[in-house]
Structure formats: structure tokens, C-alpha cells
Amino acid sequence: MIHVYTGPTLGSGEPVLCTPQVRVHPPARHGDLLDAAIEEGDTVVVIDGAYHQTPALRHKEILAALARGVHMYGAASIGALRAAELAPYGMTGIGRVYRAYASGEIEGDDEVAVGQEPGGEYARLTWPLVNLREVLRYAVAEHILDTHQAAELVKEWHAVYYAQRTSAAVRSVCQRVGARAFERWLMARLAADQYFGDVKRTDAIEAVTAARTAPPHQQPSTTAADCWSTAYSRRWASFFSVCHTSEGVLPTGMRLSYQRLFDPAFPAVWLAWLEHLSRHPGPESADEGMPLVSRLLRVAPAAATLPAHLIFRPEPDLSDRATRALLLTRETPADRAAITRYLEANQTARTQAGHCYEAISTEAARHTLLRLWDTSPDTVADHAAACGYRTPQQALDELKQFMTGLLLDQNRRHQAVPR
């Protein structure tokens, strides 16, 4: 599968994207490449990315994808920028914008940045500098401008904030510096060809075509020797981990939270996972594997008398398939259906009433948690630890995302009782 992340540069209806082997995604954001649907042997083409109102695609996400055998192409926009930065590690850059970044001819993010139309179409509202440089190159070749005038226009356009570099702003600069003949020439060329000077679009089409036509032996190499794993990248992987189920796309973290909170037998599941982790500590650990009781004795002789969950409180890596399988071993279709209902309830409450579950009071969550676990304030900390929580507050924060749906379920049951 070829995953293409694009928006204002290439519309989803572009012929080069209309093939069963291509899956079109919106502009890439932080977390997108951590999707388990992007598998080893797949190809990712990064063209556009979101970066202003949301965290941008991070370098270590790309390195992690390369490490697990995903072929990475970048072109045109943030893809060209990331490819220039990560080419030594296996990312392949395509096109003139990439080569300009790689050579140092251009440097700034605003060379490719554009304002985007809100909604799902991502239409371009402003001019990127790389496209303006391209039309100036044609203008100089056709003797509409000389090189000095072209350099002056670039300087003036560069001074305009990227989100305000509209067509009106471009024309206003032309008028201010006395380049009216160029302005008229540019408007005429755009009237004849709406894509005139759009080097970003040309590069994007070239990149997708390269990804589609590259034989396996010509696909970009990866540098999988170093998985670039850090505490931050593992936390990102867990946070963005999702699972494609028959009930829809569900966040893996929410599925684990549901088991921790609603399955009375989950402490045994957590203990089994601790045992597995003790025997298989992972490649980043220099420690050897051993049974959990041996590890307890190694910590301190007296530790063997304490429950393992009070000594070891690791954070699960939910991007790891074995970890997911062990911690979700008791999950049922009914559990996933309940999570789907609760997600819908949260969305409905947010859009119709402006209610967000994060605003639920901690006291209400605490009262609900004590009832769910059939425990008391004196023992709730131990129960939370037995379920893998580091603190009871962590359990309360996770419970809040289910409380709107729980209330709706309670109301439905109440209405269903015969009177």
C-alpha cells in the first residue's frame, strides 16, 4: 500500500492518486505515521503537513517508520523539508523543492508554507515562496523582469507573513515596487493555466509516480539498525496507537483503560504481563530475563513478600503487538461495542452541548470509581496499582472519558424498567 499525505498541493481527485494501491490521507500531523495500518513494506509519500494549529510531523516518527521497514518519500512541501533533513537515514526526496532544500538554496519553512481553507478540502489560500520563485524564473527567461527586479520581489514577498501572502498581497507588492507589467503578465498566465508556476504540484505528482512505479529492488533503503526508541517516542506510539476492529477504529489506550476499569479480573492480567516483561525485558534493556519472583528477590530479599505491582510499575508500550495481546486478552466484542458507544456519547455531548468529559469533577469520578471497583478510599490506591496505574489520579482521569456514556447507559436501563 502507498500512503499519500496531501492537501492543498494535490487534491484527492488527481488522476495519479486514483488507483487501488494508493490510500490518500489528509496533511500529515504528529502521530500519523505511528498508525499500525502502515505496515512493513508499505510506502509513505509525505507531501503536505499540518503545523500551525497542531503539532507537526516529527523526525523520530519518520525514523521509526524507516526502522520498521516502511519506505519513505518526501516532496513539494513539508515532505521535501523532512526528506532533506533525513536523507542520510534513508528517506528519499523527490523534485526541485527537495533539491533546493538539500543544496541549501532555500532554508525557511515559509518557503513552502501556505494558508489552507478550513474543512476537508484543504484548498490553498496563499502563495508559497517556492512557487513565486518559479514564476519569477519564467519571467526573467521571457525578459519580463531582470534578475535585480526578481530579487527585489522575492525580498518583498518574503517579508509578508506566509498566512497573509494571498494573491491580493502578491499583486500589491508588484504595484508597490513598480512591477505592473509583471503583474499583468502573471495574471494572464494564470488565466490560461491555473497551475502555472506550481512547482509544488509538479514535484508531488513526480513523487507519487515514483512511488507507484518503483520496482522492489529500487525502493528506498532503510536504516533499521537503530530503532531510535526513546521514552518520548514510546509514549507517542502508545498515545497514537489505534486498532482497526469490526466496531471501527478504536484507540488502543482507551481499550486498555476499559479493561483496567471494568474487568474485575484485570489484576491477574496485569500480573501475567509483568511476568512476561520480566522474562522478556526488551532490546533496550541490558538486563537478562528471569522469572518475576527472582527479579523481586534481586531488588531486595524483603521484596519477595510484597505484591509485584507495588514494586514494578512500567508504562506499557501499546505499539508492541505482544503487549496488546497480553493486556487485552480478556477483551470481548461487547467491550469494544461499549467503547464505541462511549466515544459517540462524548462526541455528541461536545458538539451539541459544548460539554467535554475532561471537565467532569474529580469528586464525581472518584465516587464512580469506588462503586465500580467496590472498594473504599483506604484501599483504592492498592487496587489502582494492581490494575497497573501508578496513582489513583491516573485511574480517575481515564474514567472521565467513559462517564458520559455510563450516565446514558444508566438512564436507558432506568427507562427500560417496567413500572
pLDDT tens, 311-358?
Answer: 888 888 887 888 999 999 999 999 999 999 999 999 998 888 788 888
What mean pLDDT comes out for the span 88-100? 94
Residue 381 has pLDDT above 90, yes or no: yes
Determine the pLDDT at residue 225. 41
Q: What percent of the chain has pLDDT over 90?
A: 56
Determine the pLDDT at residue 92. 94
- Sequence-ordered list of residues with C-beta below 8 angstroms from that of 213, at least 6 positions apart, any chain: none
d(CA 61, CA 35): 10
pLDDT band at 102 (very low <50, low <70, confident <90, very high): very high
Grid cell, residue 224, equals 533499521
Q: Comparing 293 with 99, which gets the higher pLDDT?
A: 99
Q: What is the CA radius of gyration of the chain?
A: 27
Containing H/E element for 108? Answer: none
| Spatial CA neighbour of 166 closest among 101, 121, 119, 117 | 117
Determine the pLDDT at residue 151. 94
8-state DSSP, 28: B
d(CA 40, CA 222): 11
The single-letter code of the amino acid at 100 is A
Determine the pLDDT at residue 68. 83
pLDDT tens, 124-133?
Answer: 889 999 999 9
Range scoring the smallest mean pLDDT among 211-220, 230-239, 359-368, 387-396:
211-220
The single-letter code of the amino acid at 177 is V
Grid cell, residue 335, equals 467491550
d(CA 127, CA 131): 7
Q: pTM here? A: 0.75
d(CA 242, CA 31): 11
Q: Comparing 389 with 306, which gets the higher pLDDT?
A: 389
Determine the pLDDT at residue 224. 44
Determine the pLDDT at residue 99. 96
Give the end-to-end CA distance of the chain in Å, rounded to a whole number. Answer: 56
pLDDT tens, 27-68?
Answer: 999 988 888 788 888 999 999 998 877 888 999 899 988 988
pLDDT tens, 212-250?
Answer: 988 764 544 444 445 566 767 777 777 777 777 776 778
pLDDT tens, 241-284?
Answer: 777 777 677 888 899 999 999 999 999 999 999 999 888 876 66
| Spatial CA neighbour of 380 closest among 370, 371, 367, 388 | 370
Determine the pLDDT at residue 415. 65
Q: What does the mean pLDDT of the chain come to?
A: 87
Determine the pLDDT at residue 418. 60
Residue 79 has pLDDT above 90, yes or no: yes
Determine the pLDDT at residue 293. 78
Determine the pLDDT at residue 266. 96
Residue 374 has pLDDT above 90, yes or no: yes
- Sequence-ordered list of residues with C-beta below 8 angstroms from that of 288, at least 6 positions apart, any chain: 281
| Spatial CA neighbour of 271 closest among 317, 329, 231, 331 | 329
d(CA 343, CA 345): 5
Determine the pLDDT at residue 46. 96
Task: Determine the 3-state secondary structure of 14 from DSSP.
Answer: coil
Q: Is 122 left (phi over 0), alpha (psi -120 to 50) or beta?
A: left
| Spatial CA neighbour of 139 closest among 77, 182, 95 | 182
Domain positions in the chain are 2-118+201-218, 129-197, 241-412
